Structure formats: structure tokens, C-alpha cells
Structure 1
Amino acid sequence: MATFLYKLGRSAFRRRRLVALLWVALLAVAGVGAATAPTATSSSFSIPGTEAQRAFDLLEERFPGGSADGATARVVFKAPDGQKMTDPANKAKVERTVADLKAGSKEIAQVVDPYAAQAVSQDGSTAYVSVAYKVNGMELSDASRDALKETGEKAQGQGLTVEIGGDALQSMPETGPGEVVGVVIAGIVLVITFGSLVAAGLPLLTAIIGVGIGVATITALASALDLGSTTSTLAMMIGLAVGIDYALFIVSRYRAERAEGREKEEAAGRAVGTAGSAVVFAGLTVVIALVGLAVVNIPMLTKMGIAAAGTVVIAVLIALTLIPALLGFAGDKVIGRKQRKALADGTTDDQGSKGAKGAKGADGGKEGKPNAGTRWARFVLRRPLLVLLVGVLGLGAIAVPAASLEMGLPDDGVKPTSTTERRAYDLLSDGFGPGFNGPLLLVVDGDKAAADQAVSAIKGLDGLAFVTPPTPNKAGDTSMITVIPEDRPSSAATEQLVHDIRDATGDNVLVSGATAMNVDFSQKMNDALLPYLALVVGLAFLLLMVVFRSVLVPLKAALGFLLSVVAALGAVVAVFQWGWLGGVFGVEQTGPIMSMMPIFMVGVVFGLAMDYEVFLVTRMRESYVHGARPGEAIVDGFRHGARVVGAAAVIMIAVFSGFIGSSEQMVKMIGFGLAVAVLFDAFVVRMAIVPAVLALLGHAAWWLPKWLGRVLPNVDVEGEGLVTAGAPAGAAHQGSGSEATEKELVSHRR
């Protein structure tokens, strides 16, 4: 692989104008496609195989035209102190509002008068108008949405408190300035890392191009493939992070190759052949993790994973082709002035620092003053057991809150109190009880007698506030029953009520509604977690075994990931469920953790965690197969890679943290979870626990049974095949290929 990528890098360097033109053209085509595509709607949410989904499907079949999946709104009225909504003056105001709502949009399917439907609270202080639309929230036209808002504002001006809830006001999530701040921080980190504005600009430019192509393509296909708004946000989040990181590693390797005296084209080829090999395998782990979300069998999650994986593939291709092409335009401008002067004098090591001529380092190159990575690696080698214990115990303590994890799906109750949806939620809760915001919908497949029997079976159950009489369809073979719980929708008591109703009724009674859907969704997530974890970790383990030609290194990588992801989940529970530091992160209302968060974090964080494992440990193995002892290989890997991996982690943390400012609770939680997961994995697991474990294992870390070595393909990630490829001038290592490498390994093991 290294030889193929080496040739690809040199070819892209020589044909840089053509390569750059092709990528710009692809960006333009994607942009035009996005601009001319039909307006995207929200992704249809379905959970195949669950009772709640079967109930929705039965409703669509037996109640045609009922708009079971249409947008809904509740216009909630609160009378001034000392008045009631049943007072003639207030009643007249509500009836005028009902008339205005009916005339406000052609997309309205039904407006229910609160006095006819008895939608007035027992104390008379609160009433609500139910509005049903023919289309869902994201398909709803701006005119209909504006008419709803204007009607509410008009009613508000008549002396009543009026708030609007429901998904009819659903809009695209806003990320705020945090996303831009994250990119700015990434730029600052790149400038500090490289000491060159040009070198810092290349990863940002290519990442933006890659994300632009990915997001524009998703936008262009959103309507045809039923992709939701969160899909492009996720693709942008992951695409920016990996795009910057992959480019960063190749540019850094190019600078190192130039510092060793190689010509520009040769340096570009070798950078792609070595660091590019790591990029390919790191990208594959991310793609496996994202595409593997399909095993959950939830269409929305599958589409999100595949779309994000597509953006990662684009980031890999750009790193392998556009980066060497742009290096051809930039030349030595990617190297700082001091490093260029030192390069001209022939007194530079791969870090750009002057050192004693002829002094040999672990990799056979010139060794200058030890950098921070070298000093840290030597510290770990002196105290590996202490570092291992501190890292494991520290992450273990942070992971403790994960044991209290409660899962659910966010509703209007977790929105900021500044929104009308949250205020409407609170008014309904105060006037009608906490469970009114999460009604359960029972669908009875049978005649009136079957419906009456179902009502009798569930009356008297704990946690039930009241039950409405059955509403039959025109054919009389199906009925709907509404059940109002006593507690809020996301409570454990309401979840138990769902199970109790299902136990008390027969197979012909299906429990559905948003609350029941949340219960089924959470259960499906729980059931899929272990199979998904086994699939993703298993495939990635095999992939890493091919990369490192070792059994223990991939095993250590997988166990370290599990530790970091559980710790990150513990931090998410502490902030979003317990409320610790909630004000700092803009969490106004605590509640259950989003049901898809654990499995989503497992997928995304595993892929990203393997990035640092591949980039850091491949450099160690590269040194080891070229003759360094295990301890020297660890030091050499940190001397070359610690600063770059650290910068990459800071950049990824900054990008993910930018999404914490989103107005969408789901995006906010994902941004925070991924940011802390990268923090734990990069700086605790990969930078501390990994070198400590490798130091304790010694030569055994690189052990591979002979029979397995014959079966596994040799992909040459270390670039051994490049020893004789291209111009050898300035080569740091002189070897005789794979045969010599194997002899060195045998010698070490003896």
C-alpha cells in the first residue's frame, strides 16, 4: 500500500493543477446540486419491528386522511389572575382565535374548539386549541408557520397569555457562533504547531472543501433520500474534525521529510506513502463505525451514519490527493522561516530544531534537544505502572455517573424557557397535570366491544390520570383511546405505565404515541448496543491487526477505547442528567440522556479514537521494525508524533465544542460527548495508558504467531517498500526491505 500511495502522492504533486481543478469542479457541481435541489424535509422517523410503529402503521391504514404523521400545534391560553377561560369575554377571544387559525392556512387539517372538546383545565385557568396539519413539521410552509405565530401574537395582544407548543414550529437547529470559534481555535493551534501560516492554512482549506462537498451532496440528495437536518450537521461535525486531522498528519510528515533533505516531490510522495497509509486505515475504522450503525435497524440512524461516512471518505481522498497537490504550489512555504534557514544550512532534524551534526537518534536521524513528547515518553518509561494506574483509576472515577444512565428522547420540556414551546409545555403541565404533555395513544384492532374491554382492563392501573372514551373509525373495526399518565413523559413511572398497559391488554391493543415510541426506541437501542459493539470492535480489531501485525496492540487499543467512551458517557450523565456545570454548557433543563447517545458515541468515538492509535503507534512500529528497541521505539514515536497528535486532538475538541452552542439539544449533547471523549482518549488513553502498557509488554507487544503472520496480508504501513523507491538521498533509514525487517524482529525477540 505504501508504494501505491507514494506513487499517488508524487503524481498529484506533479499534476497539481489538474488535481486542484478537479476538486474545485467537484465542489462547484455539488454546490449547484444543493442550490437547485428541492427543499429538504425532516427525515421520517420510524422504528421497524416495534409495537409503537405497528400502531402508527395501523392508524394510517384504518384512519385514512387522519394525518397521523402530520404536524401538530397546541395554542395554549392562560387567563389573567382572578379570571377564568370560561368567562364570556375570554371565551369570545378564544373563539376568534379558532376562526383565525382555520382561515390561516390551506395546510390545516383540523382545528378543535377547546370548549367543544372540553380542553379547559379543572380550575378554568387554562385552555388549549389543538391544531392538526396535513404535512409534517419540516414540510410545513413558511406561510403556515408565520400564520400560526401571527395568530398567537394577535391573541396575546387581547390580554391573555398565549403560548404555542408542538412540532409545527419546528425549525432547523442553530449552531450559533461556537462552530466558527471552533474553526478559529483550530487555525490558531495549526499556526502554533507549524509556525507557518501557509502550513496552517492547508488543513483548514482542504477540510472546508471536503465538508463543502459532503454537506452540499447531502443537501442535494436530502429530498430524494429522506435525509433530515441533523444528518448534514453530523457530517459537518465529523468531516471538519477528521479533515483537519488527516491533512495535518500528511503536512507534518512532509515537513519532516523535507527536513531530512529530500526533494519536494520525493518528500510529498513519501509523506503520502507513510502518513497517508495511516490516514487510510484510520479513515477505514471511522467508516466501519459509522456504517455499522445500520445494524440497529433504524432508518434515520442508518442514513446519518452512511452520510457521515461518505464525508469521511471524501476527507481521506482529499488528504491523499489534494494535499500533495497544494504542497506542490506551496513548496517550502509550509516550513517556517527558521526551519527553512536551518534546512539550507543542513542542520535540521525532523522537528526543525538545530542539533549536533552526526548525532544519531532512535530513528537514525539527527537528534536535537528533546521535545516535550520525548520527555513525557521517557517519564512514562521510568514509571509505567504508576502512569497506568493513575490513568485507569482517573477515567474510572469519571465513568461512575454512567451507572445512573436514564435514556429517552428530548421533548419540549428540555427546551430553554425563553422559547414559546417550553412555556406552552409548562402551562399545560400546570393546568392539566405533568402527564398531559405525553399522552399515550391506544389503537384497538376490533369492534366497539373490544375497545370497551380494553378501557375496562386499563382503568385503575397505577400512574394513570384518566382515559378517554374510544373513538371508532368509519368502518367500526378500529378504535383510538387516549390515556393521560399522571407523571411527566420522560419519567420512570410513565414508562412503567406503558408496560403495564401492554401486559393488561391483548395482542389486538397496540400502545403508541410519542411517549410509547420513546420507550420502544430506548429498548431497541439497548438491545442493539452489544451486537453493534461486537461488530465494530471485531472488524476494527482485525483491521488493526493487519496494520500493526500484532495481537496485543489492537487488543490494548480496543480496551482503551472502552475506558474512554464509558468515561465520556459518565461526563454526559453528570452534565445533562444530573446538572453538574449545566449552566456552563447552556443546559437549562436536565433530563434523560438521548436514547441514541450511547450507541452513537460507541460508533463515532471508536472511529476517532483509532485515528490517534494508528498515527501514534504506527510511528513506533516504524522505528521498531527498523532496529530500535521497544523503549526507544516508544520514545521515537512520541518524538515524532506527540506534538502533532496533541494538536490534532485539540483541534478536534475545538470543532466538537463549537456545536455545544447549538439550539438543538441532540446536537448540543453530541458535541459535548464527542469533545470530552476525544479529550479522554487522546490525552489519557493514547498519550499515557498506551505507552505505559507498551513499556510493560516490551517485545511481547509486537508478537504475532507465525501461522497468523503468513495468513495476514502485509500492507506495509511503515513504508518499508519505500527504502528503494525514488531518490534515496537524505534517507534516514537504510534497509534491505521486508526480509531485513523480519530478521531484525527475530533478533529482538531472541
Structure 2
Amino acid sequence: MSSFLHRLGRASAAHPWRTICAWLIAAGALFGLAAAFGGTPQEDYNIPGARAQVGIEQLREHLPGAGNASARVVVHDPTGDRLGDADLATLESRLKGMPHVVSAVPAQRSADGDTAVVAVAYDVPVTDPDLMGNLDPLDRAVTPLRDAGLQVELGGDVPESAAAPMKGQGEIIGIAAALVILVFAFGSVVSAGLPIASALVGLGVGSAGITLLAATMNVSNSAPMVASMVGIGVGIDYALLLVTRHGEFLAEGHPVTEAAGRAVATAGRSVVFASSTVLVSLMGLRLAGLPTYSAFGFATAIAVVSVAAASLTLVPVLARFAGRRILPRRVRRELARTDGAVATTPGGVGAPDGRLSRMPLTARWARKVSRRPVLWAVAATVVLMTLALPALQMRTWPQDPSSQSTELTTRRAYDLVSAEFGPGANGPLTIVTDRTALSEGDVAEVAGALDERADIVAITPSVTSPDGAITVFDAIPAYGPTDERMGDLVRDVRADLPSGVELTGGTAFFSDIADLLAGRLWIVIAFVVAVSVLFLAMVFRSVVIPIKAAVMNLLSIAAAYGVMTAVFQWGWATDLLGLDQAMPISSWVPILMFAILFGLSMDYEVFLLSRIREEWLRTGDSRASVVQGLSATGRVITSAAAIMVAVFLGFATEVDVVVKQIGIGMAVAILLDATVVRMVLVPSTMALLGDWNWWLPRWLDRLLPTVRAEVTEVPDATPDGAFAEDQVADEQERELIGTR
């Protein structure tokens, strides 16, 4: 692989315009295909395997408008006067004239008459392109009432699909923060701009790929956002690793094209392997059991592949144009003074002596940790486990308008309904009875039994479908849909219903989703961890390293879950996020976060351990190799993690609460991974275990394929050279293991 990557990097730098033309042709083709055949992202609200889906299908089949998109128009007179009948009748008429509307149910008034709700039913699902994210028809219908001084708020499926659009400020904040961080870290505007430019090109091409994906499957509206979040972060990370290695080779006196080739041949292997681990983690989303997770996985994978390809080919091109300006000014002056070469230390250039006072900060820190490994390992573990404790009380539930900002019309509609009609009116339980199995008397008996329950406050009049196949009515709970008692209520009611009766509706769907995803989380975790451990064992030829890495990653992610629980569920920092109340964690978040974060954590694991392993193979000194490896990668990992944190916190400024939870959770996890895990747990445990870090049974060594994440020396650009390189590395490893 090194021979191929060396040729790729060198050719890209030697022929920059050819490379740029190739990218332009590929991008033009992709964007052309996307324009001609691409699809539009849309949600898929069908949940195969959910019990509530059965009732929804019955409603769609037999009752026009039921089971499809809906909206609620809530009209309120702020003065407290009774709403006029003529105004409401006119509103109903305008609503019935909207496209795809089947019915507008006559207004339901509150007890005091100052509030009314008009329910609107459509003939297509909310995912229909005419409805999804389109509030214009509803806004036009209610404008006369608003002009008359009445408060009119919109709720239901259609308004919720458009109430909290992504503003794109997360990307802007993340990119701006990345530029500032890189300028301070590398002392050169040029070297700071290269990773960002490369990542943006890859992300742009990836967006065309996601558009094409949307033509083949339903892609959630949130999937491109998550793909952008991850793509920006890993794209900058990969390009940053290559730029750092390129700068080291330049400082050693290599020509620009050769330095580019060597950077891609060495650090490029880490990029290939690191991106592979991210892809493996993303594919674990398919095991979540919901089609929308598959779309998230594929969309994010397209972004990762695109930015990795851009890093391997465009970074050498940009480095060729930048020349030696990629280096800090002081290093360029030193190059001129020493006739083209500067002595280097791992992780930096221009520090010619090896005195501790002039070693990189990360090297000094690694030495400090390795002197008392037990103390530091215990302290780091205690910190992570303490932060993870709140996760034991984490409650997951799909988000509804009650958790959103009061700036949104959907939240104001929710609050008006709750205040005027009771909290359960926002989450009725829909009962669908099969009339081939139940008589009129049986239906009345079911309704009566539900009405006697203390946790049901009302039963609505029943409606029979035109074909007489089903009878439907709603049971109004005593509490709101996000109440922690709602899951038990749904299970209890469903258990008491006779055969031929189904419980469905939005609240029942929420309960089914929460139960389904809670069970699937462990399947996803098992798959991602098992495959990642296998990959790490292949690349690092060790049993201890991959198991230890998996445990550390699980600790950091559990700690992130704990912080999320404290921030959102316990309400410790909701005010800072523009939220006015505590709320459960969205059921969609834990699985999505785990798959992405485990892959990103493995990125840092590969970057760090590949350099540590190089030193161990070269010197055989386990403790010194940790110091040298951390010194070589500390600046890259710290800068990359700071950028990731900035990107994720940028997305936490968006209005949607689910996006906020993802942003906060991932920012905390990356921060802990880059500090507590990479800077404390890894060096302390590796110093404690010594040569046992690299223990691998001989029988397993024979079974596992050999994959090398990074090499120090660049092989000859011939098949024999590549073979010789791997053969020498294998001989070094066998010699070390044999002499231990």
C-alpha cells in the first residue's frame, strides 16, 4: 500500500493541474447526475416492527385522511373573549381549500370559549414533497385571523416538519473556529487553510453523492446535517495529519513533491485505515432496525469517503502550490540558514537538542504520566466513571414540540392545547377496532373499560369507516406524551385490549420506538466493538491494545451519555441552550452517537498508536515509545479534537433540540477522548503494561491478515520494494517478540 500511496501523493503534487482537472471532471459528473437523477431528502415515518404500525395501516386502508399527514390550527383570543362562530367557519372553509386536504374537522372549543382547535387531515403522508417542510398554505389560510388580532399557532405533522429548519450556522461556526485553532497551532495561515480547503471540497462532492442516495432510498432531512458535521471534522483531521507529516519531510530537506509523496505514503495509511474504522462503525447503524438509520449511515459514509479521497489527492496539490510557506516563518528562516534542512523532534521542527525543557509539551506530559502510571490510570478512570453515573438514569423518548423552544409556533400550539384542554390532549391514544371481530356492543365495552381507568380522562365519540370495516375512537390520557408514565400506560392498555383491537397514534408510536431502539442499542454496540477490535488487532498485532481501546472508548462515550443526561434530563444547563425545561434524551440520539463516536475515537487511536508502534519496532523500548509517539501526534490530535469540539458545539446552537443533544453529546465525548483518554489513560496503561501491550498468541498471529496503519520509511516505488518493506517490519516484530 505504501508504494501505491507514495506514487499517488507524488504524482498529485508533481502534476497539480491534472489532479485538479480530474477532480473537476468527477465533481461535474456527480453534480450533473445529482441534478438529473438525484432525489430530495425526506423522512420515512413508517416503523417496520412497531406494533402501532398495524393500526396506522388499517386507518390508511379504510378511513380517508386517517393515518396520513395532519395539522392542528389553534386559535386563541388573548383578551379572553369568546371566539366568533363566523371567524371559525371561514377558517375551516379556507383550510378545506388547501392542496391535499381531505377534511377540516369543525372547531373544538375550550370550556371558556376563548380557544379553539381545528384538525386538518390530508390525503398523503407528511413525507410527500408538497407537504414536507411547507407551511405556506397554512400561513396563508390563517393570516386573516392573525391580522384581526387573534393568536393563531400551528401544530401537528406538517408544521412540525417545517418549524425548526437548519440554519447552517453550525458549519460556519465550526469552520471559523477551525481556522483560528490551526493558525495558533501551526503558526502559518497557509498550513491552517489547507486542511479546511481540502475538507470543504470533499464535503461538497459528498453532498452530490447524498443527493444521488436520496434517489434510491428515503434519506432523513437530518442525515445531510449529520454527514456535514462528521465530514467537516474528519476531513480536517485527515488533511491535518497529512499536512503535519508533509511539513516534517519539508523540514528534513526533501523537495516539495517528494515530501508530499512521503506524507501520503506514511500518514496516508493512517487516513485509509482510520476512515475504514469510521465506515465500519457507521455500517453498524443498519442493525438498529429502522430504515432511517441506514440512510444516516450511508449518507455519512459518503461524506467520509469523499473527504478522505480529497485529503489523499488534494492536500499534495495544495502543498505543492504552498511550497515552503506551509512551514512557520521561524522554520523557513532556519532552513535558509542551515542550507535546506532542520533537525526535527517528533511532533515539531526546529527543536534540535533533546533537552527536556525544549521537548514538546505532550512529551513532557507523557513522561510525567508514565512515572506514576497507576495513580494516573485510576484517576482518569474515576473521572470518566463519575461522569458516566447519570447515564444509569437516562430515559429515552422521541422528542415532541413540548421540548422545543418557545420561539416555535409548534411549541406555542402545544402549550395552548395543554393549558386549555389538558396535557393528554396533545397525545391521544387512538383505538382501532376490527368490526369483523367485534360487534357494536364489543366496541362500546372496550371504550367503557378504558373510560374507567384513572389514567384516562376522556373517550371521544367513535367513528366508523365508510366501508364499515373499522371503528375508531381516541382515549385521552391524564398526562402529556413525554411524561415518564406514558410508556407503562401504553403497555398496560395494549395488554388489556381484546383480539381485533389495536392501539396506535403518535404517542403509541413513540413508546414503540423507545422500546425498539433501547433493545437494538446493545446489538449495535456489540457489532461495532467486535469489528473494531478485530481491525485493531490486525493492524497493531496485539490482543491487549484493541481490547483496551474498546474499553476506553466505551468509557468516554458512557461519560458523554452521563453529561447529556445531566444537561438535558436533569436540566442542569438547559437555560444556556435556549431551552426552558428538562426533557428526556431523544430515542434517536444514543445509537447514532455511539456509531459515529466509536469510529471517530478509533481515528485518534490509530493516529497515536501507529506512531507509538513505529518507535517500539525501532527501539524496543515500550515506555520511551509512548513518550515519542505522544510527542509526535499530540499537537495533531489536540488540534483535531479542538476543531471537532468547535464543530459539534456549533451545531448545538441550532434551534432543533435533537440537533442540540447530538452536538453537545459528541462535543463532550471528543473532548474527553482527546484529553482524559488519549493524554492520560493511554500513556498510563501502556507504561504500566510495557511489552505486554503488544502480546499476540502465535496461532492468532498466523490467522490474522497483516495491515499496517503507518510506516516510517517510504518503500521503493516497485513491487519488490513494497514487499521488502513489509518483510523487514515483520522481521523486526518477530525479533522483538522473540527476545522479550
Please confirm whether the aligned pair reaches a TM-score higher than 0.5, indicating the same fold.
yes
Name the SS for the 2:358 alignment partner: coil
Alpha-carbon offset, residue 649 of structure 1: 0.3
Alpha-carbon offset, residue 698 of structure 1: 0.5
Name the SS for the 2:184 alignment partner: helix
Name the SS for the 2:641 alignment partner: helix
Aligned equivalent of 2:135: 145
Instruction: Describe the superposition over 1:485-521 as per-residue Cα deviations: whole angstroms up to 9, x where unpaired.
Output: 1101011222222111111112322111111111100
Calculate the TM-score normalised by the size of structure 1. 0.92
Alpha-carbon offset, residue 80 of structure 1: 4.7
Aligned equivalent of 2:343: 348
Alpha-carbon offset, residue 168 of structure 1: 2.3
Alpha-carbon offset, residue 441 of structure 1: 1.3
Name the SS for the 1:408 alignment partner: coil
Q: Which amino acid aligns with 1:688?
A: V
Q: Are 1:659 and 2:655 matched, yes or no? A: no
The correspondence for 1:83, drawn from 76, 81, 84, is 81
Q: How does 1:181-192 map to 2 (within 5 A)?
A: 181-192=173-184
Cα 1:380–1:175, aligned 2, differ >3 Å: closer, same or farther?
farther
The correspondence for 1:567, drawn from 549, 554, 559, is 559
Q: Aligned equivalents of 2:738 and 2:132: distance in 1? A: 73
Q: Which amino acid aligns with 1:438?
A: G
Alpha-carbon offset, residue 664 of structure 1: 1.6
Aligned equivalent of 1:111: 104
The correspondence for 1:383, drawn from 351, 357, 372, is 372
Aligned residues of 1:395 and 1:564 also touching (Cα < 8 A): yes
Instruction: Describe the superposition over 1:314-373 as per-residue Cα deviations: whole angstroms up to 9, x where unpaired.
Output: 1222222222233233332212222123234133315554344xx6x6xxxx99920111
Instruction: Describe the superposition over 1:607-653 as per-residue Cα deviations: whole angstroms up to 9, x where unpaired.
Output: 00111111011100011001240111011011111011100000111
Q: How many residues align?
A: 724
Aligned residues of 1:2 and 1:721 also touching (Cα < 8 A): no
Alpha-carbon offset, residue 736 of structure 1: 8.3
Cα 1:519–1:504, aligned 2, differ >3 Å: closer, same or farther?
same
Aligned equivalent of 1:97: 91
Name the SS for the 1:593 alignment partner: coil
Q: Kindly, what percent of the aligned residue pairs are identical?
A: 38
Q: Aligned equivalents of 2:717 and 2:453: distance in 1? A: 77
Q: Which amino acid aligns with 2:20?
A: A
Aligned equivalent of 1:468: 460
The correspondence for 1:438, drawn from 427, 439, 454, is 427
Aligned residues of 1:576 and 1:587 also touching (Cα < 8 A): no
Aligned equivalent of 1:729: none
Unpaired segments of 5 or more residues in structure 1? 727-733
Q: Are 1:12 and 2:12 matched, yes or no? A: yes
Q: Aligned equivalents of 1:507 and 1:595: distance in 2? A: 29
Alpha-carbon offset, residue 558 of structure 1: 0.3
Aligned equivalent of 1:62: 62
Q: How does 1:331-342 map to 2 (within 5 A)?
A: 331-342=323-334
Q: Which amino acid aligns with 1:76?
A: V
Q: Which amino acid aligns with 2:404?
A: K
Q: Aligned equivalents of 1:13 and 1:143: distance in 2? A: 45
Q: Aligned equivalents of 1:279 and 1:692: distance in 2? A: 26
Alpha-carbon offset, residue 142 of structure 1: 9.6
Q: How does 1:566-585 map to 2 (within 5 A)?
A: 566-585=558-577
Alpha-carbon offset, residue 690 of structure 1: 0.8
Aligned residues of 1:342 and 1:352 also touching (Cα < 8 A): no
The correspondence for 2:206, drawn from 182, 194, 214, is 214
Instruction: Describe the superposition over 1:702-747 as per-residue Cα deviations: whole angstroms up to 9, x where unpaired.
Output: 1111121122222233426735569xxxxxxx99822541354136
The correspondence for 1:287, drawn from 279, 287, 290, is 279
Calculate the TM-score normalised by the size of structure 2. 0.93
Instruction: Describe the superposition over 1:89-142 as per-residue Cα deviations: whole angstroms up to 9, x where unpaired.
Output: x12221222222223x2332211111xxxx122333321111122344452369
Name the SS for the 1:594 alignment partner: coil
The correspondence for 2:417, drawn from 423, 428, 450, is 428
Alpha-carbon offset, residue 7 of structure 1: 2.7
Aligned equivalent of 2:593: 601
Aligned equivalent of 1:738: 729
Cα 1:39–1:286, aligned 2, differ >3 Å: closer, same or farther?
closer
Aligned equivalent of 2:632: 640
Q: How does 1:71-470 map to 2 (within 5 A)?
A: 72-81=70-79, 83-85=81-83, 90-103=84-97, 105-114=98-107, 119-137=108-126, 139-140=129-130, 145-169=135-159, 170-171=161-162, 173-175=165-167, 177-344=169-336, 345=338, 346-350=341-345, 351-356=347-352, 369-447=358-436, 448-449=439-440, 450-470=442-462
Q: Aligned equivalents of 1:238 and 1:638: distance in 2? A: 24
Aligned residues of 1:294 and 1:301 also touching (Cα < 8 A): yes
Aligned residues of 1:272 and 1:320 also touching (Cα < 8 A): yes
Alpha-carbon offset, residue 75 of structure 1: 1.4
Q: Which amino acid aligns with 1:379?
A: K
Q: Aligned equivalents of 1:550 and 1:335: distance in 2? A: 36
Name the SS for the 2:103 alignment partner: strand
Alpha-carbon offset, residue 416 of structure 1: 1.3
Aligned residues of 2:424 and 2:479 also touching (Cα < 8 A): yes
Aligned residues of 1:354 and 1:368 also touching (Cα < 8 A): no
Q: Aligned equivalents of 1:37 and 1:436: distance in 2? A: 43
Name the SS for the 1:484 alignment partner: strand
Cα 1:428–1:369, aligned 2, differ >3 Å: closer, same or farther?
same
The correspondence for 1:519, drawn from 504, 508, 511, is 511
Cα 1:746–1:457, aligned 2, differ >3 Å: closer, same or farther?
same
Q: Are 1:590 and 2:574 matched, yes or no? A: no
Q: Aligned equivalents of 2:730 and 2:390: distance in 1? A: 51
Alpha-carbon offset, residue 418 of structure 1: 2.0
Quick check: 134-143 or 402-411, which moved more?
A: 134-143
Aligned equivalent of 1:730: none
Aligned residues of 2:268 and 2:710 also touching (Cα < 8 A): no
Name the SS for the 2:344 alignment partner: coil
- Root-mean-square deviation over aligned CA pairs: 2.4
Aligned residues of 1:377 and 1:634 also touching (Cα < 8 A): yes
Aligned residues of 1:569 and 1:673 also touching (Cα < 8 A): yes
Aligned residues of 2:65 and 2:121 also touching (Cα < 8 A): no
Instruction: Describe the superposition over 1:390-415 as per-residue Cα deviations: whole angstroms up to 9, x where unpaired.
Output: 21111211112112211111111112
Name the SS for the 1:77 alignment partner: strand
Cα 1:53–1:142, aligned 2, differ >3 Å: closer, same or farther?
closer
Alpha-carbon offset, residue 534 of structure 1: 0.8
Q: Aligned equivalents of 1:423 and 1:218: distance in 2? A: 34
Quick check: 443-452 or 369-378, which moved more?
A: 443-452
Aligned residues of 1:721 and 1:737 also touching (Cα < 8 A): no
Q: Aligned equivalents of 1:379 and 1:279: distance in 2? A: 30
Aligned equivalent of 1:704: 696
